A and B are shown apart, each in its own frame.
Chain A
């Protein structure tokens, strides 16, 4: 999805401003919001990729004007409604008006430690990797209207396979409920000048983590 979330290389957002001694959460609701989202993810209400798509589908003006955890709260609300897990009327009322759907259990406090580590998305390969380290590849010029992890700034550009990271759940499939469809994942490094033209910092290299379906073979530059 060519959405506002795909920010790499955009201009106009100004300086990076770091807050001194920033707290973990700026208000109690931020922590509740984070934990609610993760608790719903932990019981399989949606996958990580469906969840990311849920953020990307917020209207661009809402995305830009909302704090990070406000986006999470809006995503949570949209997703529980879209999946029939709760009704907009119930959220407006602040109470359940009907019984819940049955999901796989509920995240208990005792199980929290195991959910704190990142999930495992590596999968057993079903085929050989198409590319090897050192190969030149061109990121495809694709514009799927649904979730993808190929950033716009890399599309159409030639880079070099720097590492093979194994076979992973393919977000483009998982985000639309089309299964895990595991694909080889590579670190692909691009020269700054290839991405940004001759005015680029000549000392810059940028890498992305690219799934095999994002890549075509290319000749060296």
Chain B
């Protein structure tokens, strides 16, 4: 992504555009950063790294019991074995939803999130409302997402307070038995891998 404004429109540059541009220019001239590396990083986050990776992992786990077992035992190793991304971070942990337990992930202290499988976190994940309420009012948070779970389902919230990262393995929607992984992956939303949503039902996809 490049700046949308040309020099004639300098007066319209926001405070933040100016501040970040000044930082980039100074740090580049000082010899600390290479703008081409910044371009490459931004391109990777905009085009390569995202929840489609997590969705492929979940679909595989739904379709392949041995992979699911491996994923729950050591998600870093299991996801690495799929070869979807060049390197999976250490200590990736998959937590499984069941009819009895619904999992949600949060980082109350900052914004820790499994970037390599879900991409950059959405604004709401990093926001004060989510970070404050996920740990003491998770059902209220789920209601904000339009989700209501039965009262007898236990809620388990994982606060990412160290360099371990969590991804929720949601339950496979009924009526999708025998689907191939590509069709299954289309049901897997980012939010259902955070725990603030459920996978789409088979009726919601073409």
Q: A113 on the interface (CB 8 Å rule)?
A: yes
CB-defined contacts of A187 to chain B, threshold 8 Å:
158, 164
CB-defined contacts of B41 to chain A, threshold 8 Å:
34-35, 38-39, 112, 115-116
Chain B nearest CB from A202 CB (Å) reads 9
Contact B124 A5 (CB under 8 A): no
- Contact among A36, A95, A169, A203 with B153 in the assembled complex (CB-CB below 8 Å): A203
Q: Which residues 110-126 of A have a CB within 8 angstroms of B?
A: 111-122
Using known A-B contacts A9-B135, A68-B126, A204-B138, determine if residue A117 contacts B86 with beta carbons closer than 8 Å: yes
- The A/B interface has a contact count, at CB < 8 Å, of 295
- Contact among B42, B116, B155, B196 with A203 in the assembled complex (CB-CB below 8 Å): B155
Contact B144 A28 (CB under 8 A): no
- Contact among B86, B110, B134, B139 with A113 in the assembled complex (CB-CB below 8 Å): B86
Contact A209 B159 (CB under 8 A): yes
Contact B31 A106 (CB under 8 A): yes
- Contact among A18, A73, A201 with B20 in the assembled complex (CB-CB below 8 Å): A73
Contact A201 B139 (CB under 8 A): yes
Q: A40 on the interface (CB 8 Å rule)?
A: yes
Tell me, in angstroms, the Cα distance from A205 to B145 when the chains sit together. Answer: 20
- In terms of DSSP, what is the predominant structure of the interface of chain A? mixed
A180-221 contact mask (Cβ, 8 Å, vs B): 1 or 0: 000001010100100110001101111111110000000000
Chain B nearest CB from A187 CB (Å) reads 8
Chain B interface bracket (under 10, 10 to 19, 20 to 34, 35 or more)? 35 or more
Residue of B nearest to A15 (CB): B144
Contact B30 A7 (CB under 8 A): no
- Contact among B110, B115, B127, B138 with A118 in the assembled complex (CB-CB below 8 Å): B115
Q: B24 on the interface (CB 8 Å rule)?
A: yes
Tell me, in angstroms, the Cα distance from A88 to B180 when the chains sit together. Answer: 57
Contact A13 B129 (CB under 8 A): yes
Tell me, in angstroms, the Cα distance from A22 to B123 when the chains sit together. Answer: 8
Chain A nearest CB from B35 CB (Å) reads 9
Chain B nearest CB from A82 CB (Å) reads 14
CB-defined contacts of A185 to chain B, threshold 8 Å:
162, 164
- Contact among A93, A169, A203 with B154 in the assembled complex (CB-CB below 8 Å): A203
- In terms of DSSP, what is the predominant structure of the interface of chain B? mixed
Chain B nearest CB from A2 CB (Å) reads 12
Q: B64 on the interface (CB 8 Å rule)?
A: no
CB-defined contacts of A201 to chain B, threshold 8 Å:
137-139, 155
Using known A-B contacts A19-B123, A205-B157, A207-B158, determine if residue A113 contacts B44 with beta carbons closer than 8 Å: yes
Chain B nearest CB from A164 CB (Å) reads 11
Q: B176 on the interface (CB 8 Å rule)?
A: no
- Among the stretches B55-63, B87-95, B167-175, B198-206, the one at the interface with A is B87-95
Contact A32 B24 (CB under 8 A): yes
Tell me, in angstroms, the Cα distance from A7 to B133 when the chains sit together. Answer: 8
Chain B nearest CB from A73 CB (Å) reads 5
Using known A-B contacts A118-B165, A120-B90, determine if residue A28 contacts B4 with beta carbons closer than 8 Å: yes
Using known A-B contacts A70-B16, A109-B37, determine if residue A91 contacts B162 with beta carbons closer than 8 Å: no
CB-defined contacts of A178 to chain B, threshold 8 Å:
none
B40-53 contact mask (Cβ, 8 Å, vs A): 1 or 0: 11101110011000
- Contact among A8, A92, A101, A195 with B132 in the assembled complex (CB-CB below 8 Å): A8
- Contact among B29, B37, B144, B165 with A16 in the assembled complex (CB-CB below 8 Å): B144
Q: Which 3 A-B pairs have the closest CB atoms?
A: A118-B89, A100-B30, A8-B108
Known pairs A28-B17, A32-B42 / 12 extra A-B pairs, C-beta < 8 Å:
A9-B108, A15-B129, A18-B144, A35-B37, A73-B23, A77-B23, A103-B32, A106-B32, A117-B89, A118-B116, A119-B89, A204-B156
